[in-house]
């Protein structure tokens, strides 16, 4: 479950990190996507803790979505968080498949 949540949250972070598109989505929806992502990262953190998976991406996601209202900082942090979450999901997925 943690791997799936990391893939989903990483993909959404990547979407929000795309210049102009991510900012337009966030502003058009009155910053509601940041709240949704914050909740998703908290849920992912809880599941990762329960399953013993890496929590770094989720913690960074929480920080990102509390600071993402700052225009260029938010974009950069969304991209960094997306990369970390997607790498973490890939690594956790490989460990799950291998044993």
**pLDDT tens digits along 61-91:** 999 999 999 989 999 999 999 999 999 999 9
pLDDT at site 99:
57
Closest by Cα among 18, 2, 4 to 82: 18
Within 1-99, strands assigned E span none
Mean pLDDT of 37-52: 96
Nearest-angstrom CA–CA distance, 56 and 59 = 5
How far does CA 66 lie from the centroid of its chain?
12
Domain that holds residue 78: 2-98
Mean pLDDT of 16-40: 96
Mean pLDDT of 30-47: 97
Tokens coding 49: 């803790």
Mean pLDDT of the chain: 94
Tokens coding 81: 């968080």
Indicate if the pLDDT at residue 94 is higher than 90.
no
Burial of 83 (0-12, 13-18, 19+ CB in 10 A): middle
- Number of domains within the chain: 1
């Amino acid at each position: 479950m943690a791997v799936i949540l990391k893939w989903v949250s990483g993909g959404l972070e990547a979407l929000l990190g795309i210049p102009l598109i991510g900012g337009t989505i966030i502003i058009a929806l009155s910053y509601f996507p940041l709240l949704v992502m914050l909740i998703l990262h908290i849920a992912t953190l809880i599941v990762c803790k329960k399953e013993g998976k890496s929590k770094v991406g989720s913690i960074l996601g929480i920080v990102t979505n509390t600071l993402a209202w700052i225009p260029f900082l938010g974009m950069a942090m969304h991209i960094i968080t997306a990369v970390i979450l997607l790498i973490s999901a890939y690594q956790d997925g490989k460990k799950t498949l291998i044993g």
